[in-house]
Amino acid sequence: MSESDGGARREHLSADAGRDPDAAVPNLSAEPSQGAAPGRPGTSEGNAASGSEVILAEPDLGLLTKLKGKNLAAQGLMVLEGRIAIERALDAGIVPRFLVCTEAEEEYWRHRPGRAVPRPGSGLDGKVASAPDAAAPREDAASQVAVPSVFPPAFPVRVMSHEALCALVEFKFHRGAIAVSDMPRIVPFKNAAAYAALREVFLCLWDVTDPSNLGALLRTAAGLGVVGVLLGPGCANPYYRKTVRVSMGNVFSIPLWSVNLGALESLNRNGARLVAAALTEKALTIEELGLHLRGRSGPLILILGNEGYGLPTEVLDLCTDEVRIPMARGVDSLNVAVAGGILMYALLSLPYLPSRE
């Protein structure tokens, strides 16, 4: 280990492709850029390199210095913290520009299950992790058989002591591994008619500005089986490092689209039930809503608004239904992430919808 490397070693692993942000969703309503492959919603699939392996530049560790005060979103980058978030990103086809891990994590990144393949000169006893393919079965690590991949590039890995990593980011970092990646594009939600026959639940968030609330909602939506998340104007960036961390990487596990009023109008016209979480006199309880929806068809779009003032009038006017959670002891409302979790679970349990079993 050379002192010029700050007690770090350079390795290379192979994997998949993605990006990071700050507080506001970047260009959520923008059309995909010319020449960029569309890929899956909210992923960088289609942007990954194909063909022969590329030669990678040296890791730019300066991107991680004074990390808490840095806005990497302005550079179209995101930070992945901890093994779980990094693995979920890899499974979604997101290739880090580089990864830094502690010595305690080195063994894991050397022998990631189902992704190791011998390669001379890799610096990892000849073992290099290959990119996962979502459709391919996982192999036992002992077999040293690589999972076939459409994401061939390798990414640099730097190993250093825990103390050196904390010094690099300039705070006490206890997650063992940290990676920098390109931020995925979020494409606009289109063709509402294609979803008209689905009896499924979508989550729509409108001006949910707090990254922690957004991360918690994304984790809950992914875990409960929501089909996808529609992000309206004013929402926090789903790829902000705090959002990714709070979501436990589940921001990469569920499709994301951007929406505007026009998209909601299109969904309404095509038979979707737009269900607003609202504190209004006409808002129904979950039980009342279930009776109201009996015999209906089409998807349910649960719409949650801003943490402080809820949904704007122009959104409420487009909604077919409004729902509330009865409160006790004079409490008027719940945190948006808590309320969203309760409502998602309740809506997904309605007999109107297919069983989740």
Q: What is the pLDDT of residues 266-279, one digit of tens each?
A: 999 988 999 999 98
Give the model's pLDDT for residue 22: 44
Spatial separation of the C-alpha atoms in residues 192 and 266, rounded to whole Å? 6
**Which residues have C-beta within 8 Å of that of residue 263, sequence separation ≥ 6?**
188, 189, 190, 192, 230
Report pLDDT for 208: 97
For CA atoms 276, 277, 280, 282, give the dihedral sign. Answer: positive
The whole-number average pLDDT for the span 318-341 is 92
Task: Please provide the average confidence, as pLDDT, over all residues in the chain.
Answer: 75
The CA distance from 128 to 118, in Å, is 6
Query: Is the pLDDT assigned to residue 296 strictly greater than 80?
Result: no
At 75 the three-state DSSP class reads: helix
In terms of Cα–Cα distance, which of 317, 312, 315, 306 is closest to 340?
306
Residue by residue, DSSP assigns 145-185 as PPPP-S---EEEEEEE-HHHHHHHHTS---SSEEEEEEPPP
Give 36 or 75, the one with higher predicted confidence. Answer: 75
* Residue 304 identity (one-letter amino acid): L
Minimum mean pLDDT range among 82-96, 101-115, 208-222: 101-115
Q: What is the pLDDT of residues 303-321, one digit of tens each?
A: 999 999 999 999 999 999 9
- The whole-model pTM stands at 0.74
- The neighbour count for residue 296, using CB atoms within 10 Å, is 13
Classify 14 as helix, strand or coil.
strand
User: Can you list the domains of the chain with their CATH numbers?
Assistant: 3-182 (3.30.1330.30), 192-348 (3.40.1280.10)
- The string of pLDDT tens digits covering residues 227-261 is 999 999 999 999 999 999 999 999 999 999 999 99
* Reported confidence tier of residue 197, pLDDT bands at 50, 70, 90: low
The one-letter amino acid code at 243 reads T
pLDDT for the residue numbered 86: 94
Q: In this structure, what token pair is assigned to residue 242? A: 């705090």
